[in-house]
Amino acid sequence: MKRLQLLPMVCLLFSLTVLAQEWKEEHPGRPQNRLALKAGYFGELVLHPGLTVGLDYTVSENKWLTIHWDTDLGGYRHRWNNSSAFLTSGIGFRIHMGPVFTDFSLGIGYMHTRPDGVLFEKTENGDVEPASNRGHSHFMPNSSLQIGLHPGKNKQQPLKFHFGPEVYLQSSFNHTYLPHLAAKIGLTYQLQQP
């Protein structure tokens, strides 16, 4: 049943990819260095460390505003509780103020959590034995606010630094959405076209 609930979200993620490609083909005169690689720390406090890698695609850009579409793959470990892996996609708005920028993003995603440890279950005859540990799937809507620095004169350097909080919800946690707060610190490297 949960797999059927996740099907619309997976279809939406793939359709966003197709729409971005079609938009690029319809606007061939726009600058071509639109794709950037991202990597960073993603963790709930210091005790739940994690990492993310991803892509940042610039949809539209002018002197003070950039609209971008991001896709991130990551995970974190909550020791003695669970390990989580996630895939998210979302739209963001980056406001430039000289070399400094503020970035606000909204997105959706899929998270898979797996208990950190051995699970046991009671059998029909009353014995206790190890149980399978395939984990649980969750819908993951998210939002982040990042502050960043784009060094170099007129933003010519391909590297950007950013940090800030991300808030996300974990679905199907005791029949409700469980809110989480994570810290994001990372780098974005703008790929240059030949």
Confidence of residue 34 (pLDDT cuts 50, 70, 90): confident
Interval 161-174 mean pLDDT: 91
The token duo for 57 is 């695609």
Q: In this predicted structure, what is the pLDDT of residue 98?
A: 86
Q: In this predicted structure, what is the pLDDT of residue 67?
A: 95
The token duo for 106 is 């909204």
Residue bearing tokens 């319809």 = 26
The token duo for 42 is 């993603």
**pLDDT tens sequence across 99-158:** 899 999 999 999 999 888 777 888 888 888 887 778 888 999 999 999 999 876 556 678
**Residue 45: which of 186, 184, 177 has the closest Cα?**
184
What's the pTM? 0.76
In this structure, of 40-49, 137-146, 182-191, the range with the lowest mean pLDDT score is: 40-49
CA dist 60 and 21 (Å) reads 13
**pLDDT tens sequence across 48-102:** 899 999 999 999 988 889 999 999 999 998 887 788 999 999 999 999 998 899 9
